[in-house]
Structure formats: C-alpha cells, structure tokens
Amino acid sequence: MKKVLKIIKKTILIILLIILVLYIGLVIYRIPAAFERYDTKKTVDDIHNQKLKMEDVMRKDLPPEPDEKLNNSTLNGIDTNNNSIRDDVEIAIFKLYPDSARIRSGALQYAKAMQMHFRKDIINSETFVAVLQEDSRGFYCFSRTFLSKITKEMNKESEEERAIREKETKFPKNSFEYNEYVWGGEITKKINKISSEEFEEEENRRKVIQDLVFNNEARKNKKESNYEKYMTSYGDLRGNNCDIDP
C-alpha cells in the first residue's frame, strides 16, 4: 500500500515537474512578445499624450524657414522647436491663418497628428490605431473650427418642415416620390445647398494641410505603407477632440 502511494506521489511529482518545466519554457518563449506588448503600450500612451500646447498656437517667434533639401531628406524633417510639427508646415499654417488662433489651433493639431505617421515605433495595428485615433481627433477638431452658415435654428425649422410634409404625403414610405416630397421643402433644400457648398470648401481646407504634411513621395509612401500593413477596424476616442478648446 505504502509502495503504491509512493509511486502515485512520484508520478504526480513528475507530472507537476513536467508542467512546471513546460510553463517556464512558455514564459521564456513569450518574453519577446511581452516586451513588445510593453513597448506597444508605451508607444500608444506616448502617441495619446502628444498634445498641442497653447504656446504652439500663440507662438510669436516662428522657427526659421528650413533648408528644403535637408528638410526633405528625412521623413520627420526639421523641427527646431521640438513641438512635433515640422517647421515648414508650422510656418505655412501660421501664414494661412495669421489672424485666427482658433482655426490655427485646429490646423496645427491636425498637422501634428498626421506627422505621427512618420513615427518609427508604428510596429503593429495597435500603435497604428492610436495614430489613426489622433488623426481623427485632429480631423474633427479642425473641422469644428469651420464656421457653417447652417444654424441650429435652420436645422430645427427644416426638421419641423419635414415632419409636416411627412404627414401630408400619401406616397409609400421610402419610395423615391415620398423622399422627394418630404425632402423637397424650401428650408431643407436651402440647407442641402449650403451643405454641399461647404463640404467642398472644407475638403479643400483639409487638403491644403494634408499636402503640407505629405509633401513628397517618401512621406506619402510611408503613410500608405502604414495603412497597407496595419489598417484594421477601430473606434473613435470618446471625449473632447480638441487639445485646446477652440
């Protein structure tokens, strides 16, 4: 009986030892991945902590115009004041919006976020998503500095107008005729017209900043390569989109 117990104990001991050895092996094997996860977390935090400061928007002493060749010889270019916005982009944005600190702050934040595409530590989808989330924040923030001619009152009036027309129409719901009637009111049409015009205006405004940041093939390629390698589904960050409240 004692012998049997001894054998059972020994067997359990051996099994546990094997499991322990396997586990230690697994831990050793996972060390690089754990380090990568740690690095990823550090990078993601760093990306989200890069905020635009008031002094970047209100700066009186702009950096000197950089040497074009030198500036374009690396992806990050020249950034003498270390605010993560390339000097040539910063100067151009100040020239574009000299009188409006509000628009300038949106444009600078958008540029700063796009500049993150050149970071060397974008090594996986997690780090890339962090860049995209900041990119989207910059996009929304810059967009919110655009003053639309469509007022809240107009929106309210058009909704009321549509509600009345919805009750009036006898066309089947979702049919072309139904929609033409419901959306054919004067206020709604007016809003649509303004909205279309403003859409183009805003697109052009954004494109100017995008072209400033991605001003050569190497920079465009880097951005495309990031998308190619790491693009995945992701969600916007909740909370305020502007680093500086416009």
Partner 1 sequence: MITKMKNKFIKNNIIYTKYLIGIFLFCVFLFPLISFAQCDDNGVTVVYINGIFTPTRELANIDKNLLSDKYVKKFGISNNVTFITGYNPSHIAGLGDLIESASQIINHPVSDYDFKTILAQIHLEINTKKIVLVGYSQGSLYSNEIYNYLINNGVSKESIAVYNIATPASYVSENGNYITSKNDKVINSIRDLAIKLKASQPLPWTIDIPLSKKEEKDSSGGHSFSESYLAKGSDRISADIKTALDNIAITENQTLPEQGCFNLPDQNFLFKAQKVAFLVTDPLANGTVAVYEVGKDTVVYTGEKIVSTSVFVVDSAQKTAIFVADKTQEATIFIVDKTQEVAITVAKTTNKIIDTTNIKVKNIYNNIASLEKPIAKIEPNIVVNNNVLSLNQENKKTRKQKNKKSRNN
Q: Give the interface with partner 1 as residue ranges (CB under 8 A).
A: 9, 12-13, 16-17, 19-20, 23, 132, 135-136, 139-140, 143, 148, 150, 155, 158-159, 162, 174-176, 179-180, 183, 188, 191-192, 195-196, 199-200, 203, 223-224, 227-228, 231-236, 238-239
Cβ 14 to partner 1, closest distance in Å?
A: 10
Which residue's structure tokens are 């950096």?
Answer: 63
Q: Which is nearer to partner 1, 67 or 160 (CB)?
A: 160
Q: Which is nearer to partner 1, 62 or 187 (CB)?
A: 187
User: What's the token pair of residue 154?
Assistant: 């107009």
With contact defined as beta carbons under 8 Å apart, do 127 and 44 qualify?
Answer: yes
With contact defined as beta carbons under 8 Å apart, do 78 and 70 qualify?
Answer: yes
With contact defined as beta carbons under 8 Å apart, do 114 and 85 qualify?
Answer: no
Q: Which is nearer to partner 1, 71 or 226 (CB)?
A: 226
Q: Which of 66, 69, 103 is nearest to 86 (CA)?
A: 66
Name the CA radius of gyration of the chain, rounded. Answer: 28
Cβ 231 to partner 1, closest distance in Å?
A: 5
160 Cβ partners below 8 Å, 6+ apart?
none
Tell me how far the alpha carbon of residue 9 is from its chain's centroid.
59
Cβ 215 to partner 1, closest distance in Å?
A: 16
Q: Which is nearer to partner 1, 98 or 239 (CB)?
A: 239
Q: Which is nearer to partner 1, 179 or 216 (CB)?
A: 179
Cβ 201 to partner 1, closest distance in Å?
A: 11
Dihedral of CA atoms 220, 221, 223, 228 in degrees, nearest 10, equals 140
Cβ 60 to partner 1, closest distance in Å?
A: 32
Which residue's structure tokens are 């001003």?
Answer: 215
